[in-house]
Amino acid sequence: MSATSLLAVFVENKPGQTARITKILADANVDLRWVTIANSGSFGVMKFLVDKLEAGLQALRDKGLMVSLLEVLVVETPNRPGALQSVADLLGRNEVNLANCSGFVANNRAILILEVQELALARSVLEKAGLRPMTQEEMLRL
């Protein structure tokens, strides 16, 4: 499967929560490759791409945290103006709604992380356009 799994952690929106959770992961020797925090008023969800998924999941659950695995699609796009626009346009034209999207450029490679409801549809749309979603391993080798 060419989907990538993120750790999604439920957090209350109050001071010290990010430090508390990242400390648990650090203590478990889990390396963070990417992180984002989504807030909704009194609570939020922290999402991590990590090198050791199982170990991270277990460490957080052992501390009583609510953790879920979230499947996302990761694609590499050309590193030039208009690249994100073309992906967004492609998905929009095929009725795929982007729930969340983030991106970064590393070693001159442009990476997009896409959260969508219609995972299978989005994957086939991307593949037809020559954008093959990366596997977890490929993602971690970046």
Partner 1 sequence: MFWDQESETLSRPALEALQLQRLQQTVSRLAARVPFYQQKFAELGVGPDDIRRLEDVRRLPFTTAADLRAIYPSGLLAVEADEPVRLHTSSGTTGKPKAIFFSRNDVNTAADMIARSLVAAGITRADVFQNMMSYGLFTGGLVMHYGAERVGCLVIPAGPGTSERQLMLMQDFGTTAVHILPSYALYFANYLEQKGIDPRKDLKLRKAFVGAEPHTEQTRKRIEEAFGVDVYNSYGLTEMNGPGVAFECEQKAGMHLWEDCFLLEIIDPATGEPLPDGQRGELVLTTLKREAMPILRYRTRDITSVIAEPCPCGRTHRRIHRITGRSDDMLIIRGVNIFPQQIEQVLMSMPQVGRNYLIIVEGLDDLTVKVELSDRGFDGQVEHLAALQNQLVEKLKAEIWVRPKVDLVPPGSLPVAEGKAKRVLDKRSL
**Among residues 65, 91, 111, 113, the one that binds partner 1 under rule CB under 8 A:** 65
**Among residues 21, 30, 47, 91, the one that binds partner 1 under rule CB under 8 A:** 47
Q: Which is nearer to partner 1, 26 or 66 (CB)?
A: 66
CB of residue 27 to partner 1, shortest distance in Å: 19
SS3 127: helix
Position 96 contacts partner 1 (CB under 8 A): no
Give the residue among 70, 15, 66, 65 at the shortest CA–CA distance from 48: 70
Q: Which residues, including other chains, have CB under 8 Å from residue 5's CB and lie 6 or more apart?
A: 53, 69, 70, 71, 72, 136
Q: Which is nearer to partner 1, 86 or 117 (CB)?
A: 117
Q: Which residue has the tokens 């990538």?
A: 4
Q: Name the CA radius of gyration of the chain, rounded.
A: 16
Structure tokens at 116: 């969508």
Strands 43-50 and 4-12, by their bridges, are antiparallel
**Among residues 15, 19, 42, 130, the one that binds partner 1 under rule CB under 8 A:** 42
Structure tokens at 16: 């010290």
**Among residues 26, 29, 68, 82, the one that binds partner 1 under rule CB under 8 A:** 68
CB of residue 12 to partner 1, shortest distance in Å: 6
By the criterion CB under 8 A, which residues form the site for partner 1?
Answer: 6, 8, 10, 12, 38-45, 47, 64-66, 68-70, 99, 115
